Amino acid sequence: MSEIELGITADMHVHLRDGKMMELIAPTVREGGISVAYIMPNLVPPITTIDRVVEYKQQLENLSPKTTFLMSFYLSPELTPELINEAASKGAIQGVKCYPAGVTTNSAHGVDPNDFTKFYPVFEAMEKNNLVLNLHGEKPAKKDDEEINILNAEPLFLPILEKLHSDFPNLKIILEHCTSKQAVEMIEKLNSGYKPGDKVNVAGTITAHHLSLTIDNWAGNPINYCKPVAKFPQDKKYLIEAVTSGKPYFFFGSDSAPHPIEGKARHTGVCAGIYTQKYAISYLAEVFEKKDKLDQLKKFVSDFGLEFYDVDTSKLKNSDKCWLVKRKFNVPEIIGNKEITVVPFKAGDELDWQIEWR
């Protein structure tokens, strides 16, 4: 097999930033073979108003007119049920992203997930409007408490997910960028009654980079540092099983998160985030091919995400189909211009599969 049709592809977790970085990165979603992208709201300041989200979407569309952008709000006390109702009725957002305070890049305005009850009216409004709640699933560490760390923060978050799903069984919830065996098992558990044809309400997205990284790869290399961090080989194995399983509650969210190279080489602390668009589909293809599961790739990068988000594919910005073509290329060492340099994931590596629009 040297060509595979992936159809209308979807990356349901993308950071495109603003300003000069946005200008550089927004077009690479299309260049990377993605039709539909769900955009993260963790700008500075975070996106919490209809005017701002509409303006941001317009800026992105100007830079990449053929990409369909799905937009999100940043969960914060400024969000009210009325605002959610209005944003949903205008089609301004498809979901709300929840960042526990302090766990990752631009999460300073995040929330305390140990007590979500004050957001319950917002979640009720989201449930009613069929919006998605996107969870960054890491439990924040408390001051002077060393029991929570970057390796166990995700497993420790899972009971919070379980409770939310049980309190809002009809709210669509995603555990974003699953990185651990326990996360995969929790998503399986919450879908244990699933039968083909059922609607999925709780899902996990999985990135491309977590299918090839483990702890050793980021401990010595800030380019591979992201949150949640890549865990152990056994966790990676579970993630690869999940993405190739053909189960509709696991689908693609790259968490492509560009940082200027200076942010990756600071003595004051390294920025979390790995830039994987525009080669994310090529990274995935390597993993699926190795497992002899290339026939499952379309479900993971197209069908399941579109289904979960109820994307109406007759209303996209364009109807081109993404094809995967077996043709070697080298990931560039850097992408950028005079002002910004970003080092892509697997910089310099030779990959086997490229994408084409047809």
72-74 and 95-98 as β-strands: parallel, antiparallel, unpaired? parallel
The answer to whether residue 276 forms part of the interface with ligand NCD (CB under 6 A) is no
- What distance lies between CA 159 and its chain's CA centroid? 21
| Touching ligand NCD, residues 59-98 (CB under 6 A) | none
Q: Which window, 102-110, 165-173, 179-187, 196-204, contacts ligand NCD (CB under 6 A)?
A: 102-110
Q: Which listed residue (139, 227, 278, 299) binds ligand NCD by CB under 6 A?
A: 227
The answer to whether residue 154 forms part of the interface with Zn ion (CB under 5 A) is no
| Touching Zn ion, residues 231-260 (CB under 5 A) | 255
The answer to whether residue 105 forms part of the interface with ligand NCD (CB under 6 A) is yes
Long-range contacts made by residues 166-170, C-beta under 8 angstroms, separation at least 24? 167/120, 168/123, 168/124, 168/127, 169/201, 170/127, 170/201
Residue in 151, 159, 153, 154 with CA at minimum distance from that of residue 141: 153
The answer to whether residue 272 forms part of the interface with ligand NCD (CB under 6 A) is yes
335-336 and 341-342 as β-strands: parallel, antiparallel, unpaired? antiparallel
Report the partner that residue 298 touches, choosing among ligand NCD, Zn ion, none (CB closer than 5 to 8 A by kind). none
Instruction: From residue 189, give the alpha-carbon distance in Å to each of 74, 124, 184, 193, 194.
Output: 28, 23, 9, 8, 10
Report the partner that residue 155 touches, choosing among Zn ion, ligand NCD, none (CB closer than 5 to 8 A by kind). none
For residue 225, the minimal CB distance to ligand NCD (Å) is 7
Give whichever of 200 and 271 is closer to ligand NCD, judged by the CB atom.
Answer: 271
Residue in 158, 179, 157, 297 with CA at minimum distance from that of residue 239: 179
CB 204 within 8 A of CB 249: yes
The answer to whether residue 256 forms part of the interface with ligand NCD (CB under 6 A) is no
**# residues contacting Zn ion (CB under 5 A):** 1
The answer to whether residue 41 forms part of the interface with ligand NCD (CB under 6 A) is no
Give whichever of 75 and 88 is closer to ligand NCD, judged by the CB atom.
Answer: 75
Q: Which residue has tokens 């990165």?
A: 25
Q: Which window, 50-58, 104-112, 192-200, 216-224, contacts ligand NCD (CB under 6 A)?
A: 104-112
CB 97 within 8 A of CB 136: yes
Residues 6+ apart with CB under 8 A from 285: 294, 297, 324, 351, 352, 353
Give whichever of 255 and 303 is closer to Zn ion, judged by the CB atom.
Answer: 255
The answer to whether residue 302 forms part of the interface with ligand NCD (CB under 6 A) is no
For residue 160, the minimal CB distance to Zn ion (Å) is 18
Residue in 270, 159, 160 with CA at minimum distance from that of residue 225: 270
Residues near ligand NCD (CB under 6 A): 15, 42, 104-106, 136, 226-227, 255, 257, 272-273
